[in-house]
Structure 1
Amino acid sequence: MITGADSGIGKETAKILVQEGAKIVLSDLKEDQLEATAEEIRSFTHNKSDISTWVADLTQLKEVHKLAEHVKSRYGGADILAHCAGARGAAGDFLELSDEDWMETINIDLMGAVRVSRAFIPQMQQKGWGRLVLISSENAMQPYEEESPYNACKAAIVNLSKCLSRTYAKDGVLINCVSPAYIETPMTNAMMEELAKERGSSVDEAVDWFLKNKRPHIEVQRRGQADEVAAVIAFLCSELASFVNGSNYRVDGGSVETAFG
């Protein structure tokens, strides 16, 4: 089960897991984009894989329940959940952000993770085996001043994954977190397009400026790629990670400055 699956990290995770023989349910907000992604992955794997799609708004509890029911009825429940859905949410000066700005971001980024975890962990408990990977961000350890709601939600995701890992490991369900930094996805592309407009520059120039001025500790000096994050997610979903639980894997090119953040 992959949320936020129509592009970016979710899509690349699906590609790897399908190659490893997984049956996949892709979920996101737009049916046409989901179906296009499913067709691309089928083509990528020569149409041999069992891939289905399900449109769900994870801010709506009823839609999360319907998604879980679909997975249960079609596959007997989820073995793996990679929760890749999320949004930057409201950004700007902290004193200018409203309660509504905060609650919108929390509802998507934090409560979305809470809802899907609550829906799918019981399916894994019934099987006696499961892998749950939540996606946080470098912002959880190294917050940026203009993104306070996103920072807070992503820090909460790290804490949530640790909390759940302590609770459900006894049931065979291992729960971990992945924290990317500045990955080339539709979300960061939109950020760069906005920055380019503000600076009156090209998008490529905006990316270069952002790397030098906002992410100077990305030591590899480039944006990360979604498949580089997906590789770590796939590892955590595998038997190779059978003794990994409650961890947070930073896939950030060195962006987080400290050793212990």
Structure 2
Amino acid sequence: MELGIEGKVAVVTGGDSGIGRATAKLLADEGVKVALVDKTTAQLDGAVDEVSAVGEALAVQADLRSLADVEAARDEILSRFGQVNILVNCAGITGATGDFLEIGDEAWHQALDVNLMGAVRMCRTFIPAMREAGWGRVVLVASEDAVQPYIDEMPYCAAKAGVLNFAKNLSKAYAQDGVLVNSVAPAFIASPMTDAMMEQRAKKMGTSVEEAIATFLKEERPHLELKRRGKVQEVAAVIAFLCSQQSSFVVGANYRVDGGSVASVSL
């Protein structure tokens, strides 16, 4: 399928690894010029080297908790490419987990600042360029946790629920300007984030990582019908579609890429 976005410029946060890295590579393969944004250095440079093998890519270091960093990233990207047409916000953290009564304000603020306010800062900074051009695509990465509660991950769940609501609001605010906003909600994807979760689980259980994954699926994700972790490429494919000309009548939608993990008909 021809995506019709060759020559467009995309900004992908969380681009140093996982879903962000896979998305950047797929977009570059479609002829999109990609700015990969993350707070790391060496790992980000490695991702850019990989993406550059198939297209034009730029590494931009920025901490999404800092508005100054985000605005500096915008200036650097516009200086290099002259425009921004696509924003994919993949950056996120698991944040504090455990008993609700033992999670303090600072931990809550950290999860909200990265997962929700990071998306807010990126959109507020980059949407004006898309409005001016009269064409844009914004994809915010949420999570199954946004609609399916997990009592030991409350800060993350709340932040991702906020991302869904934020994306829906943005979609109504800027569709008339040609800027189409949607979200994607993955579940238990094989990425550095879930690798760390499973390594910690394996250490706690005294088992292998493979056994930790198997027991996690059985005990914590019983509705994930495919009984495996998803692949970053499987999420990137849906994101790329939402960034394309082919998604021109998709506005304010949330695409679940979760292997069936969400048990209800909830969005």
Q: TM-score range by the shorter chain?
A: over 0.9
How far the C-alpha of 1:39 sits from its partner, in A, is 1.0
User: Residue 37 of structure 2: which of 27, 34, 49 is its match?
Assistant: 27
Q: Which residue number corresponds to residue 91 of structure 1?
A: 97
TM-superposition CA deviations, 1:84-136 (whole Å, max 9, x none): 00000111100001011101111111100000000000010111000000000
TM-score normalized with structure 1 length? 0.97
Match status 1:205 vs 2:205: no
Distance 2:70 2:149 in 1: 29
Match of 1:55 in 2: 61
2:52 to 42, 52, 76: 42
For residues 260 and 36 of structure 1, what CA distance do their matches in structure 2 show?
A: 38
TM-superposed deviation, 1:70: 1.2
Superposed CA RMSD in Å reads: 0.7
> Which residue identity is paired with 1:208?
A
Q: In structure 1, how many angstroms separate the alpha carbons of the residues matched to 2:140 and 2:152? A: 23
- For residues 89-168 of structure 1, the aligned pairs below 5 Å read 89-168=95-174
- Moved runs in structure 1, 4+ residues, more than 6 A? none
CA distance in 2, matches of 1:96, 1:243: 45
Further displaced range: 150-159 or 26-35: 26-35
**Aligned 8 A contact 2:16 2:36 in 1:** yes
Query: CA offsets, 1:118-172, max 9 Å, x none?
Result: 0000010111000000000000010101000000000000000000000000110
How many corresponding residue pairs?
257
| TM-score normalised by the chain length of structure 2 | 0.95
1:8 aligned to which of 7, 18, 27: 18
| CA displacement at 1:260 relative to structure 2 | 2.7
Q: Which residue pairs with 1:178 in the alignment?
A: 184
Secondary structure at the residue paired with 2:52? helix
